[in-house]
Structure 1
């Protein structure tokens, strides 16, 4: 983030200041912010030159110069969508903003078109019994059930690899040998896979205690029965930008009360709301954790991820949520499995 701070510019800055910022940043662009640090525009060297040709001076404000309808992407946009925007608009850099309109990073088209391997590890939880999907899981562990002619877990691994996250650890238990035999060391998928073996139920966080070589950088933890096209790179950037200890992906869930809800004051009815809809954020089963979380995880005891977050919050350390607006499906029931089969081709 530090190098992006070098190209930030207030909307009332002078042309002289803008030239200094653009020259120092070496990215051929400045990002213009308002009083609340929201991105409101972009400014290039060409914009400034045109202003000077029309009689402005170095002490003039950039207010009438900067482009007020910039091409932006959000932390929820996929890599493919960002590339499409850049090519369509014929631009080399796209500011990435969070849900409040604040700058998180700047994507460079050249970097988007190549994938560099990253150190950050990915821990995939694949040890569940899949009881709600029986009889499908009698002979096959749920992560190996095929959706779109390939196992669910294979789609997950390919999606991480697409963003350069190639160091994969799979936590296994139920029918572990089948998973190990299918994926091996990961070389067939262009990734590096190792395994941790659960001999008892340890929960989504407790299994992390089995890791021998603990990650030194922020790392992902994800359930191995999810299908999503979330931008994992932006998720990691958001975690780091916010200096978070633990980040949880959340999904909006709507629940409609099937009855008219009555509000009362004593015995007096004050209002009637017919079948109201309540909105909640629910845990999406995808996390980014900083290495210090290992201080909280007990050795080989059941310990789930919500408890980890609760303990971190008790110590007044920073935990944040990352709302998922992209495709996301938890394949926990037979109806979810059937839905995935229908949607897979369109989404992936």
Structure 2
């Protein structure tokens, strides 16, 4: 989002002259009318011209000319969704809301001038998806559709929207179906390289199949059944700042014991807590790994990522966690798959 958007905020009591000065000064060519962080409306030069033609003066307040129902977008919308929305409405900027509160303003110019990021992206797409049978009897789980797109395409598009272009996909179960759908990635103007596991090697072991000429930059790994609107740039920036061997995305998970829990000393009760809730951080299936780590995995090594990371933790090497607060869903069972069909409508992915 544009860093200058806070310069275009005015209260409804501000004058039309003040709004006009901002429109003439700022590149965004729009004023957002707010009360605290509540968006009340928007004002463009066209709104002001119409107001002046209706005999308003420059000292009148902007609430008399503002558009009280401006088009807005949710903060979870992907770049491709925002671009389509702006182009279809023939507008250049749109306010961004989160839980009904104004959090920014996105512009078509900013969306179309995305940076190119050379970090490789590794998507794990080799699983059998046994818990989603019979849907996966003749279709790999990453190709199951959520809305009108396969899960794997939704994941990949999120990275493409951010500026990534170099993809590696690990396959095992029904690999030809994945190859036939995605090809070499040219349909999306990206490069896709496939690594095939003859026998399942685990998420960590799949790193050993990556080609030796892969770019020596932090690599982002993600399971091929994860639906999320994670801010990938923020994750990568965090990893680089921490200078860690690996970063694991984690999700807070609450577990409530459905009974009263007794504290004791010997056979004496010293306290009771009714149905306590405990909070844990669980693995979200998304990692950033340094070249040192992914180069260290030998070919045909069978190991999962948690076990691989534990080996390095035992050596006192730096492994950090990144709390994932955005939307996240692990589509492992039919319940989650049905939930994803509902969520995709509002996510804009």
TM-score, length-scaled by structure 1 = 0.69
Aligned length: 257
Q: What secondary structure is seen at the aligned counterpart in 2 of 1:301?
A: coil
CA RMSD of aligned residues (A): 2.6
| Distance across 2 between alignment mates of 1:201 and 1:257 | 36
How far apart, in 2, do the equivalents of 1:112 and 1:309 lie?
Answer: 36
- In structure 2, the gaps of 5 or more residues are 1-74, 83-93
* Change in CA separation of 1:243 and 1:77 when aligned onto 2, cut-off 3 Å: farther
**Superposition pairs for residues 320-335 of structure 1, below 5 Å?**
320-335=320-335
Check conservation: 1:78, 1:230, Cα contact below 8 A: no
Q: Is the 8 A contact 2:142 2:150 kept in 1?
A: yes
8 Å CA contact 2:95–2:105 kept in 1: the answer is no
After TM superposition, the structure 1 = structure 2 runs for residues 1-348 of structure 1, keeping only pairs within 5 Å, are 84=95, 114-212=113-211, 213-348=213-348
Deviation at 1:192, TM superposition (A): 1.2
CA contact (8 A) 2:77 2:347 kept: no
2:302 aligned counterpart, secondary structure? coil
CA contact (8 A) 2:95 2:104 kept: no
SS in 1 for 2:322: strand
Q: Secondary structure at the match of 1:194?
A: strand
CA contact (8 A) 1:248 1:322 kept: yes
Contact conserved, 1:296 with 1:308, CA < 8 A, in 2? no
**C-alpha distance in structure 1 between counterparts of 2:145 and 2:275, whole Å:** 38
CA 1:132–1:157: 2 relative to 1, 3 Å? same
Which digits, 9 at most, give the CA deviation of each residue in 1:158-184, with x for residues without a partner? Answer: 000010011111001100000000000
Moved over 6 A (4+): 76-81, 88-92
Separation (CA, whole Å) in 2 of partners of 1:342 and 1:159: 19
Task: Give distance in 2, aligned partners of 1:172 and 1:156.
Answer: 15
Measure how far apart 1:298 and its partner are: 3.1
TM-score, normalising length: structure 2: 0.69
**In structure 1, distance between residues paired with 2:153 and 2:205:** 24
**Separation of aligned partners in 2, 1:345 and 1:77:** 11
CA distance in 1 between partners of 2:201 and 2:255 (Å): 31
Please give the alpha-carbon distance, in whole angstroms, between the structure 2 residues aligned to 1:287 and 1:168: 15
Change (3 A) 1:319 1:77: farther
Measured after TM superposition, the shift of residue 90 of structure 1 is 8.7
